[in-house]
Amino acid sequence: MGSALHGSARPIIITSAAGLGAAEQGQPASENHFNPDSANPRKASELAAETLIKQGVNVSIVRLPQVHNTDKQGLITPLIALAQAKGVSAYVGEGQHRWAAVHISDAARLFVLALEAKTPGSRYHAVAEEGIPLKSIAEAIGRGMKIPVQPVDAEQAAAHFGWLAPFVSHDMSASSALTRQLLAWQPTGPRLLSDLQQINYAAGSGEHG
């Protein structure tokens, strides 16, 4: 796709993950940092973007956290399915790892603003909430499903969460301070926990309450 834009000022936006902006565990990811050594396979998108930028292509990057509405909530959607299957809504340790989030309507507006800005090499964070503790997310799921909420030791995380274990065992908070400054973007959509309250869990996480 990028090769078709060589010699043109036409912009292209590459989508990535907010976690790739984390300089160290427990610190919110920032727009001006990129970890090329991350285990996250989505880094391939940003590496490709950097190659295109060096070739003079007008590339900007929008990083996403957990994008939510009442139909889907990013990685929280499979967490809900797991809680339903196991009959318990769990979190790791004290549940203080945080996940950043954004309502889908706010994310959509940011993509439009980034496209209009046409600023080569810019990285933007579509982050409305810097970090919601996983314990709070588990409690919201537990209330909705009327099932127990309980911690899982770090040593048992893989057995309980399966492929989700690496995600629930890490802080994935992120800042959007620079993005808000550069694009005058102000999120106005519902908060993550609010959307989790509106789900009709009896009909499945893909149904409105």
* Domains of the chain, start order: 2-191 (3.40.50.720)
Positive or negative, the Cα torsion across 179, 180, 186, 192? positive
Asked whether the predicted pLDDT for residue 143 surpasses 90, the reply is yes
| pLDDT of res. 202 | 80
- Identify the pLDDT of residue 67: 98
- Digit-coded pLDDT (tens) for 25-47: 778 999 999 988 888 888 999 99
51 pLDDT above the threshold of 60: yes
Give the burial class of 203: count Cβ atoms within 10 A of its Cβ; 0-12 exposed, 13-18 middle, 19 or more buried: exposed
Beta pairing partners, 12: 59
> Could you tell me the pTM of the whole model?
0.92
The neighbour count for residue 41, using CB atoms within 10 Å, is: 8
Read off the pLDDT band of 112 (50, 70, 90). very high
pLDDT tens digits, one per residue of 74-101? 999 999 999 999 999 999 999 999 999 9
